[in-house]
Amino acid sequence: MFTVAITEKGGAQRQVTFDKAEVTIGRVQGNDIILPKGNVSKRHARIVLKDGRFIVVDLKSTNGTYVNGRKITSPLVVKSGDKVYVGDFILTLEESQNAQEPVDAPDDALGATGNPAAMEPPPMEAPPAPAPPPRAPSAAPPPLPFAPPPGAGGPPSNPQSGLSESDGIAEAAEPPTVDPEIKPALPPLDEDASSSVASIPSARIPLEREPAPPAFAPTGAPPALTSSGDPFGPSGRSIPDPVPPMPSNVPAERPSEPAFHQPPTAAKAKAPGGSSPPRGDGPGTAPTRGLAEPAPPVAPVGVSKTDRSALRAVMGHLASVFDTTVIEAGSLHDGERRASAKAAIGEVLTHLRTSGSIDVPSTKSIAEAAEREAVGLGALEALLADSAVREIIVEEPGRVMVDHGEGLRSTDLFFSSGQALRTIALRLVTQGGGHPRTEESVYEGTLPYGPKFTVILPPVAVRGPVIEIRRVSGAPSADDLVAEGMLNTEMVELLHRAILARRNILVFGPIGSGVTTVLGAVAGLIDQSQRIITVEDSPDLHLEHDHVISLAVGSRLGGASLANLVKQATTLRGDRLIVDDIRGPGLATILHEIVARPPGNLLGIHGQGGAPLEWLCSVAQGGATEGSPSELVAQAVHVLIEMGRDGDQTFVERISEVKPTKDGSPKASALFAYEKGAFATKGSPSFSG
Tell me, yes or no, whether 193 and 303 share the same domain: no
Predicted pLDDT of residue 505: 97
33-34 and 22-26 beta bridge pairing: parallel
- Burial of 308 per CB tally in 10 Å (0-12, 13-18, 19+): buried
Spatial contact of 486 and 279, defined as CB atoms under 8 Å apart: yes
CB 199 within 8 A of CB 192: no
Q: Is residue 630 part of a domain?
A: yes
C-alpha span between 250 and 276 (Å, rounded): 28
Where a domain ends, among 406, 435, 470? Answer: 470
Q: Which residue among 450, 470, 490 closes a domain?
A: 470
User: Do 614 and 490 belong together in one domain?
Assistant: yes
Task: Convert the pLDDT of each residue in 284-313 to its tens digit.
Answer: 333 333 333 333 334 344 445 567 788 899
- Dihedral Cα 265, 270, 275, 281, nearest 10 deg: 90
pLDDT at 577 over 80: yes
**Domain tally for the chain?**
3
Residue 103 has pLDDT above 80, yes or no: no
Contact (Cβ atoms closer than 8 angstroms) between residue 525 and residue 496: yes
Mean pLDDT of 367-382: 93
Higher pLDDT, 134 or 354: 354
Give the contacts of 396 (CB within 8 A, at least 6 positions apart). Answer: 247, 418, 421, 463, 464
Mean pLDDT of 516-534: 93
How far apart CA 558 and CA 439 sit, in angstroms, is: 14
Phi, psi of 268 (to 5 degrees): -65, 135
Let me know whether 447 and 498 are in one domain: no
**pLDDT range class, residue 283, cuts 50, 70, 90:** very low
222, part of any domain: no
The pLDDT value recorded for residue 71 is 85
pLDDT surpasses 80 at 240: no
CA contacts within 13 A on the Cβ side of 432: 21
Characterize the bridge pairing of strands 548-552 and 666-675.
unpaired
In a domain, 243, yes or no: no
- Domain that includes residue 674, residue range: 478-681
Element (H, E) at 310: helix 305-318
pLDDT at residue 161, rounded to an integer:
36
At 456-499, the pLDDT tens digits run 998 888 888 999 998 876 678 899 999 988 999 999 999 999 99
Q: Are residues 407 and 525 in the same domain?
A: no
Share of the chain above pLDDT 70, in %: 66
- Give the model's pLDDT for residue 466: 93
More confident residue, 585 or 127: 585
Judge if 605 and 513 occupy the same domain: yes
Last residue of a domain, one of 196, 215, 234: 215
Q: Which residues of 552-561 are buried (b: 16+ CB within 10 A; e: fewer)?
A: bbeeeeeeee
Q: Are residues 362 and 390 in the same domain?
A: yes
Count Cβ neighbours within 10 Å for each residue of 58-76 and write b for 16 or more, e otherwise: bbebebbbbbbeebbbbbb
Classify residue 246: in a domain, yes or no. no
CATH number where 673 lies: 3.40.50.300
pLDDT at position 62 is 87
pLDDT for res 97: 55
Stretch 434-438: mean pLDDT: 86
Q: How far apart are CA 274 and CA 539, in angstroms?
A: 31
Task: Clarify whether residues 172 and 295 are in a common domain.
Answer: no
For residue 442, tell me if it sits in a domain. Answer: yes
Does residue 226 sit within a domain?
A: no
Angle between helices 335-354 and 364-375 (to 10 degrees): 140
Kindly write down the DSSP assignment for every residue of 417-482, as one continuous string: -HHHHHHHHHHHHHHTT----TT--EEEEE-TTS-EEEEE-TTTSTTS-EEEEE---PPPPHHHHH
CA distance 355 to 352: 5
| pLDDT tens figures, 614-647 | 888 888 876 555 668 889 999 999 999 999 887 7
- Whether residues 507 and 464 share a domain: the answer is no
**Would residue 91 be called left, alpha or beta, if left means φ above 0 and alpha means ψ between -120 and 50 degrees?**
beta
Domain CATH number, residue 441:
3.30.450.90
Q: Are 433 and 488 members of one domain?
A: no
203 pLDDT more than 50: no
Q: Is residue 169 very low, low, confident or very high in pLDDT (cuts 50, 70, 90)?
A: low
Work out the mean pLDDT of the chain and round it to a whole number. 73
Average pLDDT over residues 500-513: 91
With respect to residue 177, please indicate whether it lies within any of the assigned structural domains: yes
Residue 363 and residue 314 in one domain: yes
Residues in the chain: 689
238 within domain boundaries: no
pLDDT higher for 215 or 454? Answer: 454
CA distance 260 to 298: 11
Calpha distance 493→336 (Å, rounded): 58
Helix (H, G, I), strand (E, B) or coil at 50: strand
Evaluate if residue 377 carries a pLDDT over 60.
yes
Q: If residue 646 lies in a helix (H) or strand (E), which one and from where to where?
A: strand 639-646
pLDDT tens-digit map of 32-60: 999 988 889 999 999 988 777 888 899 98
The arrangement of strands across the sheet holding 13-18 comes to 13-18, 2-8, 89-95, 84-86, 65-67, 70-71
Q: Are 142 and 135 in contact, with CB atoms under 8 Å apart? A: no
Query: How many angstroms separate the Cα of 48 from the Cα of each of 4, 75, 166, 514?
Result: 12, 10, 18, 53
Task: Provide the strand spans (E) within 148-194.
Answer: 170-171
CATH number at residue 73: 2.60.200.20
Cα 436 → chain centroid? 16
pLDDT higher than threshold 80 for residue 174: no
What DSSP element (H or E) covers 363? none
Task: Supply the angle between the helices 364-375 and 305-318 in degrees, to the nearest 10.
Answer: 50
**CB atoms < 10 A from the CB of 491, how many?**
21
Same-domain check for residues 456 and 496: no
Could you tell me if 454 and 509 lie in one domain? no
